[in-house]
Amino acid sequence: MTALSAHAVATPTTPAQPVPPTAMGHSHAHESAQAQVRGAAPYVDDIPETMGTLHAAPVLSHVAHGRLHGLDASAALALPGVVAVLTTADIPGDPVLAAYTHDEPILATGTVQHVGQVMALVVATDVNTARRAARLVRPHITHLPPVLHAREAHAQASYVLPPVHVARGDAATALGRAPHTLSGAFEVGGQEHFYLEGQIAYALPQEQNQWLIHSSTQHPGEIQHWVAHALGLALHQVRVECRRMGGGFGGKETQSGHLAVWAALAAQHTGRPVKMRLDRDDDFLITGKRHPFSYDYTVGFDDQGRLCGLQLTQLAHCGFSADLSGPVSDRAIFHADNAYFLQDVAISSYRCKTNTQSHTAYRGFGGPQGVIAIETILGDVARHLGLDPLAVRLANLYADEPLTQPLPSVSAHNPTPAQRNVTHYGMAVEDNILLPLIAQLADGCSYQKRKADIAAWNASSPVIQRGLALTPVKFGISFTATQFNQAGALVHVYTDGSVLVNHGGTEMGQGLHTKVAQIVASELGLPLHRVQVSASDTARVPNASATAASSGTDLNGRAAQYAARSVRANLAAFVAGLDGCGAGEVRLVCGRLPGAPADSPAVGLVVTPTTTRLFDDVVQAAYVNRIQLWSDGFYRTPKIHYDKTTLTGRPFYYFSYGAACTEVAIDTLTGESRVLAVDILHDVGHSINPALDIGQVEGAFVQGMGWLTTEELVWAAPDAERNAGALLTRAPSTYKIPAAGDVPEHFNVALWHQPNPEDNVGGSKAVGEPPFMLAISVWEAIRDAVASARAKAGLAGPVKLDAPATAERVLWAVRQ
């Protein structure tokens, strides 16, 4: 073994000087922040175009439902610069997308099923010519009656997937003996993703019938699969790369695959590179949204508001194909309890087929649609009894206490539990921090005092009414499709001591690459700047899952940690041999060399009981001695299992918790509303990067606030004179996301202090999706203000309000 040279050895026996903060567990800037501010962080459309690149544009249906008899492309082909017009006949592989339900054509074939469905592709020498030519293609369509609402589809038994029913106890019997019952129905709208970078793909032919696809995607592996399937290729012939996205929010989990397939088909047909980028209007028309939901419920409860029984029907507006509607609707069932024990419950979920865009993943993935139902029901229960809604929520929380008057379960797969700490799908809530978390938030934001102050204000205010609500969230973390709970990573240590990491996750602005770099830097004892994460690439980490389900850091961070740990073990064994100590006595730390000035930068050090060495010097010596300086890491989430047919078991590794208290004001003359104050306490375990986590909490809350207040999707009615079934709100002029002025000045976010009790990377918890549902406190606060206005006007009965709570709907709810 070649020993380290003399200059590589620091002063023996003197301890190194640690330099806090270390990489993991502290706030660091996003790895691309400076480049993004300077405009130096390239996205797909910024990649220099290869000579001969063509551009593709979609030919869209203007009919919601009809028989497609053919296309007249003569005018488009006559336009100078147009190279080709592709239809389904030009697809060399399967003409149906490689989705798990195999029910969505790549290009419309025989029928059109929504306004905006892509019927053909125009390929031209520049993007403007391609788009202009696409508008010249004339389809021949016979109109058929469209189905545009889930209730209509349900009445016709029109579904993209079979209904699912989950039951525990005996809801019908429990409702019959309940002291009080309420029934109701309401609607919750969808939501446009509105990512800043639209959908885009760039397909480049390579040698020997291989392909390189640059895609703005959350799931490079699925892009690889879909493109290979459409072109009739093996997976190893398609390579997909994504350095970053300008936002995703679930809208680039499956929907990005369409662009990649279309671009690849055009490139295969022409033999030239093809880029396809949707303009914003077309993006709105083509791509799916958050699933709108319709609800019907009957609930039984006692004098304290504790639920005795619940029958809940969820109608998911799925669009014309299944896409991810199955798992989205399943998660809506899983989260129909939110933070509350449901003793005798029956939930029916219908996945309704409508002639609209095929709706898809969106932050929360069905969780918000489940949570809002139970929070709405509890709000109704509290107002019916004249109780504080927070008291009713506290009465229904999961708790380690025995059941009262249990009924035998009507489901043999889902027995009635002995205590109030088991979900309606059979998973024990083992790490319940809901009560202390809510209590800390309520005390910190002076909930009771503000409640009294608002009541006094409302009594004296003739026009403006205020509302206050504190709502919790319990959100399960893991993919419900168990096979996706795995990840791989590569860690390469180069001979100068710098580190390159590649993993299967994708960066969409959430800071995943930053957190993974922090994890690897901490594992190797390096300053963060010595670790870099490269673009997601199917040629490096194969078969990677989508970056979704809030599990990006849990999966990929752990895999990268394992890879780094393997390299660390190699270096420790090497140095232990030099110093005659055990490998366990070798530490890799970030610090300063003994005797170094206090203001000198931190460096990576390798410390044994006798010697402190520079990490860089150890790496060089290890290379000379032929020690492996790279490794792969693989991680699979433990403990999870469940029965897909009964939706029972343990689908989640752990739960994330949080609570938000929101104060709003409404104008009873116009229906306008404003969020006045927000206080949040959220559980992220031991935060890997508090600044990034707080940013995720803030962003998720504001996005959820938009879903429930201003972001209204409107489709033209079936009897509209023109464009029946067309999405009318398809631009910033008509579709309103929250702006800076909508964020209240009082917006406090704090993180819960305890680590994740499960063995997760760094003791952390997921943060991407759970805070989204904290915005349901805005919805409940608005309903609280509406109830006050109605009571003041002498109007009886429950608050009837659909989401989003636009000014028109609020005004209607106040006056009806």
Q: Read off the pLDDT of residues 84-118 as tens digits, 9 standing for 90 and up.
A: 999 999 999 999 999 999 999 999 999 999 999 99
Residue 5 has pLDDT above 80, yes or no: no
Is there a contact between 130 and 82 (Cβ–Cβ < 8 Å)? yes
> What pLDDT score does 407 carry?
82
**Residue 93 DSSP class:** S
Q: Which amino acid is at 727?
A: L
- Residues classed as catalytic: 769
Q: Read off the pLDDT of residues 117-141 as tens digits, 9 standing for 90 and up.
A: 999 999 999 999 999 999 999 999 9
Percentage of the chain beyond pLDDT 90 is 92
Q: Which amino acid is at 472?
A: P
* pTM summary value: 0.96
- φ and ψ at 472, to 5 degrees? -100, 175
Count of beta carbons in the 10 Å neighbourhood of residue 571? 24
Query: Residue 541's Cα: distance from chain center in Å?
Result: 22
Residue 4 has pLDDT above 70, yes or no: no
CA distances from 13 to 10, 77, 386 (A): 9, 79, 72
Residue 2 has pLDDT above 80, yes or no: no
What average pLDDT does the segment 459-475 reach? 98
Local structure of 484: helix, strand or coil: helix
Q: Read off the pLDDT of residues 368-416 as tens digits, 9 standing for 90 and up.
A: 999 999 999 999 999 999 999 999 999 999 999 998 888 888 887 888 8
Q: Would you state the structure tokens that stand for residue 501, as one six-digit string?
A: 């990491």
Q: Read off the pLDDT of residues 322-355 as tens digits, 9 standing for 90 and up.
A: 999 999 999 999 999 999 999 999 999 999 999 9
Residue 526 has pLDDT above 60, yes or no: yes
Q: 170: Cβ–Cβ under 8 A, 6 or more apart, which residues?
A: 309, 344, 407, 408, 409, 410
Is there a contact between 335 and 427 (Cβ–Cβ < 8 Å)? no
Is there a contact between 244 and 509 (Cβ–Cβ < 8 Å)? yes
> What pLDDT score does 22 carry?
73
Local structure of 675: helix, strand or coil: strand
> What pLDDT score does 17 carry?
57
Q: 328: Cβ–Cβ under 8 A, 6 or more apart, which residues?
A: 291, 316, 359, 360, 361, 365, 366, 369
Residue 238 has pLDDT above 50, yes or no: yes
User: Rounded CA gap, 415 and 627, in Å?
Assistant: 56
